[in-house]
Amino acid sequence: MYEALLGILVDDLHLTQERVRPEAGPEEAGLDSLALVELSMLLKSRLQIEISDDELLRIGTIADISRLMEQRSAA
C-alpha cells in the first residue's frame, strides 16, 4: 500500500520522492491542506479507499497514512 501512496504523492501531487519518507510528517513531505484534500479524492477515485481530508490533517506520518489505507482497504 505504501508504494501506491508513494505513486500518488509523486506522480499526481508532484512531491519530490526524497521528501516523501515513511517517517516524514505531511508538511515535511510537502502536503499542505489543499494537497491533503486532493489526496483524499485520489484515494477514493483510484483505490476506492475513503479517508477524509480531516483525518489526513490529523495524521502523524506518511507511514500512518499507508497503515490507515491498509486498514480501510481490508474493511
Question: What pLDDT, on the 0 to 100 scale, is given for residue 74?
Answer: 82
Give me the chain's average pLDDT, please.
96
The label of the residue with cell 483524499 reads: 40
Low-confidence ranges of the chain (pLDDT < 50): none
> Could you give the C-alpha distances from 51 to 13, 16, 18, 57, 59, in angstroms and in order?
17, 23, 24, 10, 11
Domains of the chain by residue range: 2-74
Cβ contact 53:40 at 8 Å: yes
CATH superfamily of this structure's domain 2-74: ACP-like (1.10.1200.10)
Question: What pLDDT, on the 0 to 100 scale, is given for residue 12?
Answer: 97
Closest C-alpha among 71, 73, 26, 27 to residue 47: 73
Taking the model in full, what pTM does it have? 0.92
